[in-house]
Structure 1
Amino acid sequence: MKNWYDNVFQFIKGKDSMLELLTLFYIVYLLIKLYAAFMEIGFVTNARSFKAIILSPANYAKAAAYKIASQKFSIVSTLFDFILFFGWITFGLSTLDATLIMGNEALRSVLLVMSFIAINYALSFPFDLYQTFGLDKKFGFSTIDVKTFILDQIKAALMFVILGGAFFWAMSAIIMAYDYWWFYGFLFAFVVILFINMIYPIVIVPLFNKLTPLEDKNLKSSIEALLQKAGLKSSGVFSLDASKRDNRLNAYFGGLGRSKRVVLFDTLIAKLEKHELLAVLGHELGHFKHNDILKNIASSALMLLLMFALFGNLPEELFDALHVNKSAGSVMILFLMFSPLLSFVLMPLFGLVSRYNEYKADEYGSECESQEALASALVKLADENKSFPLSHPLTIALYFTHPPLTERLKKLGMHFDEGAALAH
């Protein structure tokens, strides 16, 4: 095995075309993310000097400050991710690959992938700490204590070792057994994703949060009537003790098939009036009525198939350039390293479709209650979650799965003084 500095030197000399191409794509991806972040910072910095819209003046200023701080944090973490990426492709992967030597190829592949993930996690852990106990604490979002945080990490690590180990073992067996493993691997991964979505609200969520049947009988009855009207069968309506970790408001329909259940954050129940909450749930039911959930599953499956097809046909040249053996483990690692590039490329298209679906879901939510109720709920959600109502067009195009709040409220018939901020 060459010394790591020899690998770095060879990479810089640029003899490995496939690796050069992927690295170029990664650099373009990095530059676009950084450019978008800087543009967003400039846009929000300018917009916060104008008259507050939608949010209260205090929360408008606080939301702007949080958005700017989050974007600055994103810039630092993005640069760190690139340093990590560069370290892996120049010497990290070859060193890890040479270190793990054993006769059982499936076991070796599992340990290779899990070691790669564990090292990334350990090196990125300070960023997670700052996000939770620094940034989010400073702006009044995070309520988690150290004990709960540590317990969460332990539970997540155990789940990763048990479930992740089983998944990577099965995927390794598929890669080693079939010439067209990428197709069978896609089918297996997709089934696992569906299974996890099915058991998530009944098995995984209770490991971290307490779910209790909704105590408000009146509200529960109204929600059940809403579900019946939409034709959605649910296994129950539950309250989740989200406030022990975070003050943000949220609700979701979790599970698939018979495991479907309505989950309301206790923070949401505490802050929204009944008609507002029903309007929010009506919006979510709009996705069900319009088959958006099935469409999202289908589009996700298509993107996953595309990823498997690409990474299932990587040339030997790439593995030679990285100084690693082409094995089930190294293939899975490259999938984990480079799949975010494809996701980033496809995200604007999926975002465009998603934003259209959100408008249609808003229409259904309005029909369930009223435009006023949904508009009022959206304003409260933004105010409580300190969501800055304005964003740079590039940020919207690249990342937004929901339309800007100002556009949604205008569609709902709400009038407000957009002022110079929106004219900007």
Structure 2
Amino acid sequence: MVFLISILEEYFSFLDKIEPNTLFYVLIIFTWIISIWQHYLAYRQYKNYKRHRTVPNELADVMTDEELKKARSYAIDKMRYNQIHSIFNEIETTILLLIGIFPWLWKKSGNILAKYNYNNHEILQSLIFISIITIYLTISNMPWSYYYHFILEEKHGFNKQTIKFFIKDNIKKLIVILTLVLPIVALLIKIIQIGGNYFFIYAWLFVTSISLIIAFIYPNYIAPLFDRYDPLREGELRSNIETLAAKINFPLAKIYVVEGSARSAHSNAYFYGFFKAKRIVLYDTLIKGYSIQETKDDNKEKQSNETQEKLSAEENTLTKRHTTDEQQTIKKKVDKGCESEEVLAVLCHEFGHWSLSHNIINLSISFINLFFVFTIFAALFKRSVLYQSFGFTTTQPILLGLLIIFQYVLLPYFEIYSFALTVLSRRFEFQADHFAVKLHYGDSLGRALKKLEIDNMAYPFSDYLYAKYHYSHPTLLERLKAIQSTKST
């Protein structure tokens, strides 16, 4: 391993011949080249949205011209928002780098420590540095987040948050991020400091272990801080899920429903867990007519009966010319979501990912990639030109080495790596759909995908190049075509 690092250090020796200012502008230009490429793809997609379309034949049974128009409007609004937000962030970041924000903030962090007689303590200084940046990013992003949820999503009927919920959510996210990130960074810097020639191996093992630990604690202890998770109620759907899981030997431990409707009308489903203790999570918005029970409400049964009465009353008055606002709301809730068989089909797709070991393959790829980038870091982080290019002329903080190398030097590599993962993910999605079809859930999966497309107001047409580069899932029309092709074989 040491020999490999020596070879890489020799390979990167050309960096020492580059002037720090030249290297700085080269790295900045790299970021803008990638950004321009991303904006070009977005422009192609925007043109696709602006082009007049009619409902595709595959969706003629579930989508009206009016729904297609609404989906198109939603897609255009999101694209405009994302592009304006992206350009603003790119300009802001570039300006901050040009005025030397990193060395200034590093010095300020040191001055804070000096007030308490903690001089030249790199780890503590790094933690203050990270804390300031994290707090700044949280505060500066809140207006954008507010606009997205309370104006854009609200306009199209998806936002379910209140202002109070939104503020509490952001505060909790900040606390959780700092609670997790600060000790991890402190330990990582310490490992690099004392690890000797093999520090990159120890660092890789540490980060890999932390990733697995977080994968375990996040759904069990962190996610419930933000959303409510209840066991799926006894009934036909639960019995059918358990039967399907037993049929394919899926090690099902628990089935939860998350109250996604508290923040959004979008829907989803996934599973998590290691070895023989898998948990399934369904969004309440995925299940037609489902609402999470208030287990601590003494009047729960009464409220449930009232809800049923309202639903029945609404169904009996659909043909009337005048419908109250309350009844319209109830109908909207009833119409959205999937039937039991369609929910099973969606889960069958997720079971396909498990059966075909897609999650294990993705984990393995990420750990191999992590080892590769730590190896590159080991060959680069002592080169003073990298620190000098960002204004660090007298010190070489490990944290800044990590930031510069991972965020800027390796940016072109990460862009290629991300694209490769997207291509692989699309392949896995087709395979998972194929798995569901082979278990005779093809028709139900097709109906579920169509309903989710309508419920999430997804626009069914995409620019080919934009979709290939950005979409981790194939487009709906591609999936429906593949499902029909698999059924006919």
TM-score of the aligned structures, taking structure 1 as reference length: 0.89
Tell me, in whole angstroms, the C-alpha distance in 2 between the residues paired with 1:342 and 1:34: 19
| Structure 2 Cα separation of the partners of residues 110 and 341 of structure 1 | 28
Alignment of 1:146 onto 2:163: yes
- From 66, 78, 82, the equivalent of 2:74 is 66
Is 1:223 the counterpart of 2:228 in the alignment? no
**Kindly tell me: are residues 134 and 332 of structure 1, through their superposed partners in 2, closer, same or farther at Cα, counting changes over 3 Å?**
farther
Q: Which residue of 1 aligns with 2:385?
A: 317
Cα pair distance change 1:18/1:305, threshold 3 Å: farther
Distance 1:22 1:405 in 2: 38
Partner of 2:101: 92
1:343, 1:132 → 2: CA distance?
29
Q: Which residue of 1 aligns with 2:442?
A: 371
2:23 counterpart of 1:18:
yes
What amino acid maps onto 2:460 in structure 1? P
Question: Matched residue of 2:159: which SS?
Answer: coil
Structure 2 vs 1, CA of residues 56 and 336 (structure 1 numbering), >3 Å: closer, same or farther? farther
Deviates more, 1:388-397 or 1:114-123: 114-123
- Which residue, out of 208, 222, 231, partners 1:204? 222
Q: Does 1:387 align with 2:458?
A: yes
1:297 maps onto 2:301 in alignment:
no
CA displacement at 1:76 relative to structure 2: 1.1
**Contact map agreement 2:358 2:428 (CA 8 A) in 1:** yes
Q: Counterpart of 2:183? A: 166
Deviations 1:321-377 (A, max 9, x none): 111231122123335633665432222211111111111100111233421111000
Deviations 1:281-300 (CA, angstroms, capped at 9, x unpaired)? 00000011111010111112
Residue 326 of structure 1 is matched in structure 2 by 396
Question: In 2, distance between residues paired with 1:124 and 1:292?
Answer: 34
- Of structures 1 and 2, the larger Rg is shown by 2
User: Quick one: structure 1 residues 240 and 94, their matched pair in 2 at CA, closer, same or farther if it must change by over 3 Å?
Assistant: same
Q: After the TM superposition, which residues 16-415 of structure 1 pair with which residues of structure 2 at under 5 Å, given as runs?
A: 16-46=21-51, 48-51=52-55, 54=59, 55-90=63-98, 91-101=100-110, 102=113, 103=119, 104-179=121-196, 180-257=198-275, 259-270=277-288, 271-312=337-378, 313-314=380-381, 315-324=383-392, 325-334=395-404, 337-338=407-408, 341-413=412-484
Distance in 2 of aligned mates of 1:59 and 1:183:
54
> What CA distance in whole angstroms lies between the structure 1 residues aligned with 2:153 and 2:171?
21
For 2:263 and 2:416, the matched residues in 1 are separated by: 33
Task: Please report how far the alpha carbon of residue 89 of structure 1 lies from its aligned counterpart in structure 2 after TM superposition.
Answer: 2.3
Q: Which runs of 5+ in 1 are unaligned?
A: 1-13, 415-424
Structure 2 Cα separation of the partners of residues 190 and 288 of structure 1: 21
| Alignment CA distance shift 1:369-1:211 (3 Å) | farther
Aligned equivalents of 1:157, 1:95: Cα separation in 2: 23
Structure 2 counterpart SS, 1:212: strand
| Structure 2: distance between partners of 1:31 and 1:37 | 10
SS at match of 2:82: helix
Q: Indicate the percent of aligned positions where both proteins have the same amino acid.
A: 26
Aligned partner of 1:9 in structure 2 is: none
Question: In structure 2, how many angstroms separate the alpha carbons of the residues matched to 1:327 and 1:119?
Answer: 21
Matched pairs, number: 400
Instruction: Report if the CA contact (8 A) 1:200-1:255 is conserved.
Output: no
